[in-house]
Amino acid sequence: MNLLFIIFAPFFGALLPLLFKQASRPIKTGITLLVPLFCLVVLFQYVPATLAGEVPKQMVEWLPGVGLDFAVRLDGLSLLFVGLILGIGVLIIGYAHYYLSSNDDESRFYSCLLLFMSSMLGIVMADNILLMWVFWELTSISSFLLIGYWFHSSDARRGARMALATTGAGGLALLAGLLIIGHIAGGYQLDTVFAAAEQIKAHAYYVPALILVLLGAFTKSAQFPFQFWLPHAMAAPTPVSAYLHSATMVKAGIFLLARFHPVLAETELWFTLVTLTGLITMLVGAYFALLKHDLKGLLAFSTVSHLGLICMLLGIGTQAAVIAALFHIINHALFKAALFMTAGIIDHESGTRDMRKLQGLMSLMPITATLAMIVAASMAGIPPFNGFMSKELFLDQALQQHLFGGLSWFIPILATVGAMLSVAYSIRFIHDVFFNGDYKETPKKPHDPPRMMSAPVALLGFLCIAIGIAPMTMVSGLLDQAAAAVTGSPVEVKLSLWHGFNMPLLMSVVAVIGGILIYLARDQLFTFNRQFDGQDAKHNFERIVQKTSDAAANFYERLDTGSLQRYIAFVLISVIVVLLPSLSDLSVVTGGKPQLPVDMVSMVGAIILISAAFATATLHRNRFVMLMMLSVVGLVVSLAFAHFSAPDLAMTQLVVEVVSIILMILALFFMPQKTSRASSGHRVFRDIIIASFIGGIVATLNFAILTSPFESISDFFLANAKSGGGGTNVVNVILVDFRGFDTLGEITVLAIAAAGIHKLLNKLKPFMPSSDIDGRPWHRIRHPLMLTTVANILLPMAMVVAAYIFLRGHNLPGGGFIAGLIVASAMILQYIANGVDWMKERFSVNYQSLMSFGVLIAALTGLGSWLFGKPFLTSWFTYLDWPVVGKFEFATALLFDLGVFLTVVGATMMILSNFGKMTTRHRPTHEGH
Amino acid sequence: METLYSVTVGILTACSVFLILRGRSFPVVVGITMLSYAVNLFLFSTGRLTIDGAPIYGTQETYADPLPQALVLTAIVIGFAMTAYSIILAVRARGEIGTDEVNQQDNSTEGNR
């Protein structure tokens, strides 16, 4: 068995209810129950070890590079929570079986519930704080699904959204806090973090880390001022509320405080923030709980209040306070789950949860009423129930702390007030519903539910009594270990129901009497509070959300105007702003390398290039002229390559230039021939400024590079090209051998682009001109004789040249890229001269296959080296003796280059022939004019 | 020579940027194409300028740096693929929307949001 099963079983088990979607509900419930029961079986094998003070651990590497491992532990604190999550989970599933109506999709419910269970288990068992965060976020998401289970109701959707937004935002803060902690500690394993506790507390980033972690905890546990989301989450089905708000979701924040207690607590800041937040939350929650007329609303605010109590105890942070906090976590989970279930039963049976409509149900639902009284008494803190004991401990702690100096006395007083309110709303829950006069008409005539539906409540009620009577047998062993995990030192817990006559007992008595008095005076309280009506958290929240999204939309409108010109200008201006300051000093960017003398050829070339570039830019309204100018630029660029010792580049550039200009002329056929004057003078001026600055920056950078001396890695390629790659043309050897993998990538990109173009042209309805720009119709001779003749002669010659260029590529300028482009341009000439149909009759190669074959050959050549036990794309060459021709060299790189060749031919032809086809198909016929 | 080279590359870039900032698709595509020439020249020059030093092993004492050349060679071909893709995209957009404006038009705004 493995600890990880406890997390993974519900995670993958969440699929089970969906797989058995067709089965009946009892079967689905049974299958779902198996999952937590299985987890409990696994858990029990580890319980003895944990209770003996060991910490069972397990780890699977996940992302070791970022310090995120799938590490889990089961210390006392984890065990306490795992027990609650699984135990109450089982009861909730059983309860939901009866609660959900026949219209509800129980598969989805069980599935989400198991997912949530898995996330909760992950939080409490994680041994890596990043892993814990992952599960933390998973609870936010899965609780969103659960709260919004009845997604047809707008309340459920809003409640779910509010919970997700609040806890999700807190989760992000938590992540930041955890990253800071992990950074200081030097690792994300819990033990590493614990070991670095002193370091963390002394660190300058302790305060931000603490505040971020507390933000995470307080949002999750609905602590003031984030308590607003919890009551709205009551739109969920009652089993969900019972689960989320007793043992799980909201306890995650409390768990976080307990888990990080050894690391973050016992500082002035921790004490002030946590204790005061807890105190305020306790009072605010209790006050609002009293005012709610909705049963679940009352329970929701009482949850807020009790969470505040636990939070306050953790803030005080002494050993006894920690024990009290952990003890109250158990007690609260038990009685609150039972109370939610009771509220669900009442709602289910009578059709309403409004305490103003309910009264006198005692006679109709005696069993439910008895059970409700037991658990409500526990919530109120009446002996002999468990809630009494933890409240006594709490009051004792409130008395004993002296942390606010001379002002410490106000804490026990306020604690007593909180206890009073707790008594008052507990009485209200019982008295308003079950007594308070005779039964009044409700939507349904209530009666006690099926026995199995109240069984979970009965079990929880029994536990409340059992713990109250025999606390040492029931929970002390567990509390020992849990408290030890929180405080970091061994603990021995002593609990008893009777403490003798002392101050806490007196406070309890005052609380009970005060509670009864408050309850009796409740009508005045309702009247008093009516003046604050309309202050609904939901509306405030919605308003904030609305305002934020309006502001975002507004900002977006201004930023995203849909204008490409604006975007580009924005990007370019940012480049200028960032780069200009550092480049403004020319003396800094000038390197020590001596400049070459300027020769005549370069000078003339530069002048032509500059003039052509200017002409392209300034004559852009006449598009054909612009293209001609562009082709001049391209030609001079290829001459520049030739001049500066790059024959391969010169050849490639030359052929690419031809092909792209042809393509653009084809495109121009479908586009307006001229651009009307669209830009205002103002905009042109702005663009000229931007362009000049960018040009200046590029020129400066280029100058800086050119004048600085450098050491290149190219010596290696030069030295090894012949001996290692078997070729003397170093550029080609780099392409097909040293950096062959790059080239494989490049031809793949080319193939993808060609395929993309193929799709773009699919079902295109291009804009068809019927005449040229001056209104002249197309010439009636579609294929001029002279061109046809020349093209026909040229094709075989081009093929021969291409074959020659291809074969010599390894040793002299040439190679697959260039040969491929030469073949492609000769074939394009055929298309131009003779038309698509003519070509189709004579040459029926599918260019897509050609291209794919090319990529395939190149890839297979690479794979071939695996057969010889060498890494991918290792090349091999030898010298063969061929009669007549003589000795020649054969290299596997040649095969690779063949792949390149075929891809280039295929892709280029695919782009151009597909496109060319369109012009032919749609060209208006003028034959026979 | 280096000054002349860098000034030329700078001017080529400036002209391309100006074209890219135009409001119609065709000049933008031409601008991108010309910018790719400028970029290629720029990258090529990271191997510094050498005259009469083609990197053919065994032909002379000093060679031009072959590595930027190999990289630029593939860049030229990829640049062609990009030019082709963007020009076809422009044609398609003209066919679909009926205009070659690169800015979103107000009448089509509603449908897209």
DSSP A395-454: HHHHHH--TTGGGTTHHHHHHHHHHHHHHHHHHHHHHHHH-SSS----SS------HHHH
More confident position, A344 or A876? A344
Integer Cα distance of A169 and A159 in angstroms: 15
Encode pLDDT of A477-495 as tens digits.
Answer: 888 888 888 888 888 888 8
For residue B107, the model assigns a pLDDT of 46
Residue contact A691–B18, C-beta within 8 A: yes
**Structure confidence at residue A338 as a pLDDT band (50, 70, 90):** very high
Is the C-alpha dihedral spanning A260, A266, A267, A272 positive or negative?
A: positive
For residue A878, the model assigns a pLDDT of 73
Rounded mean pLDDT, A351-371: 88
Helix or strand (DSSP H, E) at A720: helix A714-720
Closest residue by Cα to residue A227 from A276, A270, A281 = A281
Closest residue by Cα to residue A478 from A58, A75, A125 = A75
CA distances from A221 to A338, A915, B16 (A): 19, 63, 58
Work out the widest C-alpha separation in chain A, in whole angstroms.
120
Please report, to the nearest 10 degrees, the dihedral formed by the alpha carbons of residues A519, A521, A524, A530 taken in order.
-10
C-alpha triplet A658, A660, A663: angle, nearest 5°? 110
**Structure confidence at residue A843 as a pLDDT band (50, 70, 90):** confident
Minimal CA separation from B112 to chain A, in Å: 11
ipTM, 2 dp: 0.92
Q: Which tokens hold the place of A515? A: 């509670």
**Structure confidence at residue A335 as a pLDDT band (50, 70, 90):** very high
- Collapse the DSSP code of A880 into the 3-class scheme (helix H, G, I; strand E, B; otherwise coil) and give the result: strand
For residue A176, the model assigns a pLDDT of 95
Choice among A27-31, A582-586, A702-706, A922-926 with the minimum mean pLDDT: A922-926
Integer Cα distance of A653 and A630 in angstroms: 13
Which residue of A lies nearest to B88 if distances are taken between CA atoms? A757
Which residues of chain B lie closer than 8 angstroms to A600, CB-CB?
none
Closest residue by Cα to residue A104 from A12, A207, A206, A237 = A237
Residue contact A753–B47, C-beta within 8 A: no
Enter the DSSP assignment of A294.
Answer: B
For residue A927, the model assigns a pLDDT of 37
Enter the DSSP assignment of A381.
Answer: T
**In a mutagenesis test of the B interface, which of A618, A657, A714, A825 is the best target, namely the one with the most B β-carbons within 10 Å?**
A714
Which residue of B lies nearest to A721 if distances are taken between CA atoms? B57
Encode pLDDT of A513-555 as tens digits.
Answer: 998 988 888 888 888 777 766 566 667 777 888 898 899 888 8
Rounded mean pLDDT, A394-421: 85
Encode pLDDT of A414-446 as tens digits.
Answer: 999 999 999 999 999 999 888 888 888 888 888
Choice among A174-183, A266-275, A836-845, B13-22 with the minimum mean pLDDT: A836-845
Minimal CA separation from A761 to chain B, in Å: 7
- The type of residue at A841 is E
Residue contact B10–A656, C-beta within 8 A: no
For residue A708, the model assigns a pLDDT of 84
Closest residue by Cα to residue B57 from A731, A711, A892, A640 = A731
Q: Which of A692, A742, A743 sits opposite B14 (nearest CB)?
A: A692
CA distances from A551 to A546, A637, B22 (A): 8, 50, 31
Q: Which of B22, B23, B49 sits opposite A644 (nearest CB)?
A: B49
Encode pLDDT of A252-277 as tens digits.
Answer: 999 999 999 999 988 889 988 999 99
Encode pLDDT of A696-726 as tens digits.
Answer: 999 988 988 888 887 778 778 888 877 777 7
Closest residue by Cα to residue A307 from A418, A209, A208, A233 = A418
Which residues of chain A lie closer than 8 angstroms to B90, CB-CB?
667, 671
Integer Cα distance of A394 and A418 in angstroms: 11
- The type of residue at A569 is A
**In a mutagenesis test of the A interface, which of B3, B7, B17, B89 is the best target, namely the one with the most A β-carbons within 10 Å?**
B17
**In a mutagenesis test of the A interface, which of B13, B73, B96, B107 is the best target, namely the one with the most A β-carbons within 10 Å?**
B73
**Structure confidence at residue A167 as a pLDDT band (50, 70, 90):** very high
Minimal CA separation from B23 to chain A, in Å: 6
Residue A635 CB contacts under 8 Å (≥ 6 apart), including other chains: A654, A657
Residue contact B84–A653, C-beta within 8 A: no
Please report, to the nearest 10 degrees, the dihedral formed by the alpha carbons of residues A273, A278, A283, A289 taken in order.
140
Minimal CA separation from A391 to chain B, in Å: 57
- CA R_g for chain B: 19
Enter the DSSP assignment of A925.
Answer: P
**Structure confidence at residue B51 as a pLDDT band (50, 70, 90):** confident
Would you say residue A90 has pLDDT above 90?
yes
Minimal CA separation from B74 to chain A, in Å: 7
Size of interface A-B (CB pairs under 8 A): 318
What is the percent of chain A with per-residue pLDDT over 90, rounded to a whole number?
A: 37
In B, residues 61-100, which contact A (CB 8 Å cutoff)? 63-67, 69-74, 76-85, 87-92, 94-95, 98, 100
Q: Highest mean pLDDT: which of A50-59, A107-116, A725-734?
A: A107-116
Residue holding tokens 């062993």?
A477
Q: Is B58 left (phi over 0), alpha (psi -120 to 50) or beta?
A: left
Burial of A405 (0-12, 13-18, 19+ CB in 10 A): exposed
Closest residue by Cα to residue A74 from A10, A171, A1, A181 = A1
Integer Cα distance of A390 and A378 in angstroms: 10
Integer Cα distance of A909 and A914 in angstroms: 8
For residue A770, the model assigns a pLDDT of 64
**In a mutagenesis test of the A interface, which of B7, B11, B107 is the best target, namely the one with the most A β-carbons within 10 Å?**
B11
Residue A914 CB contacts under 8 Å (≥ 6 apart), including other chains: A757, A758, A761
**Structure confidence at residue A68 as a pLDDT band (50, 70, 90):** confident
Is the pTM value of this prediction over 0.80? no
**Could you give phi then psi for residue A729, rounded to 5 degrees?**
-80, 100
Which residue of B lies nearest to A671 if distances are taken between CA atoms? B91
Integer Cα distance of A638 and A298 in angstroms: 82
Residue contact B21–A672, C-beta within 8 A: no
Which residues of chain A lie closer than 8 angstroms to B36, CB-CB?
none
Integer Cα distance of A569 and A363 in angstroms: 79
Letter string b/e over residues A606-623, b meaning 16 or more CB atoms within 10 A of that residue's CB: beebbebbbbbbeebbeb
For residue A557, the model assigns a pLDDT of 83
Choice among A152-156, A413-417, A502-506, A559-563 with the minimum mean pLDDT: A559-563
**B46 interface with A at CB cutoff 8 Å:** yes
Integer Cα distance of A202 and A343 in angstroms: 48
Closest residue by Cα to residue A664 from B99, B92, B87, B94 = B87
Q: Which of A565, A687, A701 sits opposite B103 (nearest CB)?
A: A565
Residue contact A746–B74, C-beta within 8 A: yes
CB of A639 closer than 8 Å to CB of A651: no
* Cβ neighbour number for residue A639 with a 10 Å cutoff: 19
Q: Which of A569, A597, A663 sits opposite B1 (nearest CB)?
A: A597
Encode pLDDT of A764-805 as tens digits.
Answer: 766 666 666 666 776 677 778 888 888 888 899 999 999 998
Residue A590 CB contacts under 8 Å (≥ 6 apart), including other chains: A703, A704, A707
Closest residue by Cα to residue A290 from A516, A625, A624 = A516
Residue holding tokens 């006069």?
A437
- Whether the bond between A766 and the residue before it is cis, its omega within 30 degrees of 0, is no
Integer Cα distance of A634 and A638 in angstroms: 6
Is the C-alpha dihedral spanning A540, A546, A547, A548 positive or negative?
A: positive
**In a mutagenesis test of the B interface, which of A644, A682, A914 is the best target, namely the one with the most B β-carbons within 10 Å?**
A644
- The type of residue at B73 is L
Would you say residue B34 has pLDDT above 70?
yes
Integer Cα distance of A346 and A444 in angstroms: 10
Residues linked to residue A189 through DSSP beta bridges, in sequence order? A128
More confident position, B99 or A302? A302
Would you say residue B106 has pLDDT above 60?
no
- The type of residue at A697 is I
Would you say residue B108 has pLDDT above 50?
no
Choice among A424-428, A564-568, A809-813, A924-928 with the minimum mean pLDDT: A924-928
Residue contact B44–A649, C-beta within 8 A: yes
Alpha helices in A292-359 (DSSP H): 295-316, 319-350
**B104 interface with A at CB cutoff 8 Å:** yes
DSSP output for chain B: -HHHHHHHHHHHHHHHHHHHTSSBHHHHHHHHHHHHHHHHHHHHHTT---SS---BTTS-SS---HHHHHHHHHHHHHHHHHHHHHHHHHHHHHHHHS--BSSPPHHHHHHH-
Residue contact A728–B94, C-beta within 8 A: no
Residues A214-217: contacts with CB under 8 Å, at least 24 apart: A214/A257, A214/A273, A214/A274, A214/A277, A215/A170, A215/A173, A215/A174, A215/A177, A216/A136, A216/A170, A216/A171, A216/A173, A216/A174, A216/A177, A216/A253, A216/A256, A217/A170, A217/A174, A217/A253, A217/A254, A217/A256, A217/A257
For residue A405, the model assigns a pLDDT of 74
CB of A699 closer than 8 Å to CB of A867: no
For residue A641, the model assigns a pLDDT of 92
Which residues of chain B lie closer than 8 angstroms to A679, CB-CB?
22-23
Q: Mean pLDDT score of chain A, rounded to an integer? A: 86
* Cβ neighbour number for residue A310 with a 10 Å cutoff: 27
Q: Which tokens hold the place of A631? A: 């082709």
**Structure confidence at residue A84 as a pLDDT band (50, 70, 90):** very high
Encode pLDDT of A636-671 as tens digits.
Answer: 999 999 999 889 899 999 999 998 998 898 888 888
Is the C-alpha dihedral spanning A352, A353, A356, A362 positive or negative?
A: positive
Which residues of chain A lie closer than 8 angstroms to B94, CB-CB?
670-671, 766-767
Domain ranges of chain B: 2-99
Would you say residue B63 has pLDDT above 90?
no
Rounded mean pLDDT, A71-93: 93
- Collapse the DSSP code of A885 into the 3-class scheme (helix H, G, I; strand E, B; otherwise coil) and give the result: coil
**Structure confidence at residue A343 as a pLDDT band (50, 70, 90):** very high
Residues in chain B: 113
More confident position, A918 or B6? B6
Rounded mean pLDDT, A809-828: 87
Q: Which tokens hold the place of A222? A: 């609905």
Residue contact A667–B74, C-beta within 8 A: no
Which residue of B lies nearest to A748 if distances are taken between CA atoms? B78
Residue holding tokens 């006395």?
A409
Minimal CA separation from B36 to chain A, in Å: 10
Minimal CA separation from B110 to chain A, in Å: 12
Encode pLDDT of B86-96 as tens digits.
Answer: 998 888 888 78
